[in-house]
Amino acid sequence: MKMSILAFALRALARRKARAFALGGGLAFAVALVAAVVFMTESLRAEAERAHAAHPDIVVQRLVGGRPTTISSADAARLAGIASVRNVTPRVWGYVFLPSLQGNVTIVGTAKNAPPLSIANGVLAEGRDIAPGAHEMIAGTELARFLGMRPGDELGLPTTNADAHALKLVGTFRSSLDLYTADVLICDEDDARALLVLPPGDATDLAITLSNPAEARVVARTITETLPGARVVERDLLARVYHLAYGRRAGFVLGASIPAILALLVLAWDRASGIGPDERKEIAVLKAVGWSTSDVLWAKLFESLLVGASATALGLLLGYGWIFWLGAPGLRPALVGWSVLYPRAALTPAVDVAQLLGISLAVMGPFALLSIVPAWRAATTDPLDTMRT
Amino acid sequence: MNHARARQVAIALVVSPALVVAGLAYDANARRAAKANDAAAIDALARRLPTSDLALSGGARWLRAISLEEPGAAFADGPASPDPDPAGAAMAPPIELWSASQRQR
């Protein structure tokens, strides 16, 4: 019996094609927009957390006037004596503004004992790792492409230090790692120091590895006491940073989408506020030919379910396709920032079945239930009265 | 549309979200599995980088390494452009540590 009512509901929708398409189209659009923002935010957050494990347990910076400044390598020796600190590495990195790019590149100095990068370990697309003291560099694919450089080419980066050498490109990162390397230029620590005009004995920050990462909070407190005014960044807090940063951006995009969401609410209100004279007459006829109130309510519920389910399915498909198949045109700049060097690597979905079902039920549930009250009102009215009006 | 045909189409529409969810979950899993091949490369690379932050805002140094830049740097990426992070990319300093340290003094 229910199957027959379901078939009847579909044919009833077919009789009111324009309204069903307007309602379903609006709903599908709203679902696609919300789903796309959720898919992309989750994907970016997961991408940022993917390299989280390789991050030092603690990073220490020195603040002056509330802004990070260089830290003395002598402070590294003071921190090395703290219990549970296994290793303190002064790091040299920073930014250089390229006028031709109208943007910053991130210069990263390589410490002497750094693990090697190669084509074999999947990091480099071509070339090899830098050799210490040879004034060489590895650049992101995107950066190298933008500068028109190929391995073997040399580049003199703008700096106020006359002693800084031009750097020879000896390798490029794989394009699938673009999200981490699009604007990165890795060179020898001495070259980085010269380019960034960092005095000997100073470092950008200190990376600390602990024997027991679970003691990070205790060690952080000791560092704060040892170096008053130092900014201590714990690895475990980074997940919160990514949630804050991408959650906030997603919030802004969703905020800008309020008109679309409002359109959805208006459509829902249209369902809640009652049914039209044609539908009212149809219900009266159904009652007159022997349909029970329960049958009528099932028919109206099925109508809403058919529109809601197909619109949700279409919306999810559109949202997913927009982000992961088409590369999120239009939405990507809003969520990833306004950089000159856009990472082109495809995003990896982080969404799971529970989230997909959550979005589906959050849309379909209220939408289907909203149809019950007006249908019940119409179904409990005397059919003769309805047909006479 | 006859009754049997209408019934089949209606059932297909009702179950379409479940089919789409299953299809998308399958595609997402396949893409995640393909990405897992990059895990070793990402790990090796991340050890040479100052931070695991994504290179999404290279033009704005206060947003390039959101976990390490100055807290509360509030600027747009470009003149008259919308500011994606009006409060700066706030990596809040461990305030509880600072306050605990102050109390101890």
Test A104 with B66 for CB contact under 8 angstroms: no
ipTM greater than cut 0.85: no
Positive/negative CA dihedral, A329, A330, A335, A339: positive
What average pLDDT does this structure show over A130-151?
90
State pLDDT tens for residues A178-216.
Answer: 888 888 999 999 999 999 999 988 999 999 999 998 999
**Torsional class of A343: left (φ above 0), alpha (ψ -120 to 50), beta (otherwise):** beta
Q: What is the pLDDT of residues B72-82, one digit of tens each?
A: 555 555 555 55
- What residues pair up with A64 in beta bridges, in sequence order? A67
> What is the pLDDT confidence band of residue A145, given thresholds at 50, 70 and 90?
confident
Pick the range with the lowest mean pLDDT from A315-319, A379-383, B81-85: B81-85
pLDDT higher than 70, residue A3: yes
The sign of the torsion formed by the CA atoms of B46, A336, A243, B67 equals: positive
Residues 6+ apart with CB under 8 A from B80: none
Please say if the pLDDT value at position A90 is more than 60: yes
Both tokens of residue A268?
């829902």
B69: helix, strand or coil: coil
Between CA A74 and CA A20 the distance in angstroms is 72
Would you list the domain boundaries of chain B? Answer: 3-45, 54-105
Cα separation of B22 and B86, whole Å? 38
For A66, which of B34, B70, B87 is closest by C-beta distance?
B70
Within 8 A of B37 by CB-CB distance, chain A residues are 122
Token code pair at residue B36: 């897992």
pLDDT at position B93 over 50: no
SS3 A284: helix
Residues of chain A found within 8 Å of residue B13, distances taken between Cβ atoms: 10, 306, 309-310
List pLDDT tens digits, range A104-123.
Answer: 889 999 988 888 888 888 88
Q: Which two tokens stand for residue A324?
A: 């992961």
Position B90 scores a pLDDT of 46
Q: For residue B31, list chain A residues with Cβ-Cβ distance below 8 A.
A: 324, 348-349
| Residue percentage of chain B with pLDDT more than 70 | 60
> Rounded to the nearest 5°, which phi and psi values hold at A93?
-160, 165
The reported pLDDT for the residue numbered A222 is 93
pLDDT per position as a tens digit, B28-55: 999 999 888 888 898 889 888 988 888 8
CA atoms within 13 A on the CB side of A13: 25
Percent of chain B residues past pLDDT 90, beyond the cut: 21
> For residues A198 and A2, which has the higher predicted lDDT (pLDDT)?
A198
Would you say A196 and A158 are in contact if contact means Cβ atoms under 8 Å apart? no
Cβ–Cβ under 8 Å, residues A194 and A161: yes
